[in-house]
Structure 1
Amino acid sequence: GLSVHGQYRLCSDDTLFAMPETGIGFFPDVGGSWFLPRMENHVGYYLALTGRRLNSMETYTTGLATHYIALGQIPRCLERFMFTEDLSAAGIESVLDEYCEAPNVEDCGEDEVLPHIDAIERCFKQPSIKDIRTALMEETGEHRQWAQHTVAMMDRASPTSLAVTLEQLNRGASLETLQQCLEMELCISRRFMAGGDFFEGIRAMLIDKDMEPRWEQAPTHDQVLEYFAPLPEGEGTLMDV
């Protein structure tokens, strides 16, 4: 959620991170257009377009978390904060560094992102969903099985959500502030909530739970651009952030 924009982002043994919105016919909101395109090697694009869940090891190694603190150390860390008098940035970092350690595979799981980082960069830098999918299908050798699984994850998502999300991330990469990204996301969210795949995704995944959404066909480029058109005056504004 919004905590990903914080200066200090903690993960522990049982941490899971995901941006699964394309799987319910929506898009990565809460400032996803700010932090996702700024992740190295197009990993943010990979997460946004597949909805893949990261374990705590992957959350840490991708930079989404700034500190890993073992589950058993969290009560001690919280107690330390309760009695510290220095709540400056340096003081906070000092406490976190005291309890922070390198995550281990036994407690946090394998890192299955790093072994495919070159393939992620190669495939998810492509300019369209079609090109991304083609690049994935062309992967061979050690990346082949991973690529096939990635295509399968994308195929379960809303085609509209995928196309809008790709445009969202590309635009977000060039915006200068989180505020601008949130303003763009307000426009996008209003268009999604007008109906279509978002309603169908909620029905299939959260209400009826048949897990078989009947998505609309992939949108044209002009239809994608409609999601980013300015809202009519008076339809919604953001407070300063």
Structure 2
Amino acid sequence: MEPVAYFEQIASKYDTWYTTPIGSYVDAVEKEQVFSLMKGQKGVILDLGCGTGNYTLALNRLGIKVIGLDKSMEMLKIAIQKMSVPFVLGDASILPFKNQSLDSILSITLFEFLTYPEKTLSEIYRVLRPKGEIILGTMNTFSAWFLFKRLKSIFKETAYRYARFYTVNQLKILFKQAGFINLTTRGVIYFPAFIPCFLIPLVEKLDRKWATSPLRHLAAFVLIRGEKP
């Protein structure tokens, strides 16, 4: 099954995870690091692979001009119900935008499901204005979560059955090859998804402490920010 077909099937229940204690914790910690990487650029941000609009909504609430793009119509239908911002049904490898037309691009947990990530990065480079930024978040190969999610997907169909995870160094190589400069990386989520809820406050503190440390190479969720010269 193609990844987009899988997401079409689960769109109606996709957001349920965010209402769980673990899902809420993960979402909050990831967003904290994502927004801390933003340099306060004004203009239009593209939420690439926006899904049901989790980050699109967060950006919109911050008063940022945002466009959401996704390949799944069913996911977009849910996003459209949440807010009145432009949404586009499209392919990340063939972006329907003019050259140098966007100020920033945010892409969270999309690259795991791309067949040709290099082509998408080339497109991102094309549509960004000079000094524009790309912030990409993805799951990390070198993490306990990776092993757990992979094992689980063997016995039960999950999105991770179709995912390709990356290391921090692999992301750096991809970004440099695409032409991006001034790279910054972060990492959060260091413990398996089945940790007891009473430990969440503790692990949140560790996430903040370790986000920029060498331990980020072992985090479940890694971020990379780059700029177009």
The structure with the largest alpha-carbon Rg is 1
Q: What is the TM-score normalised by the length of structure 1?
A: 0.26
Higher helix share: 1
TM-score by length of 2: 0.27
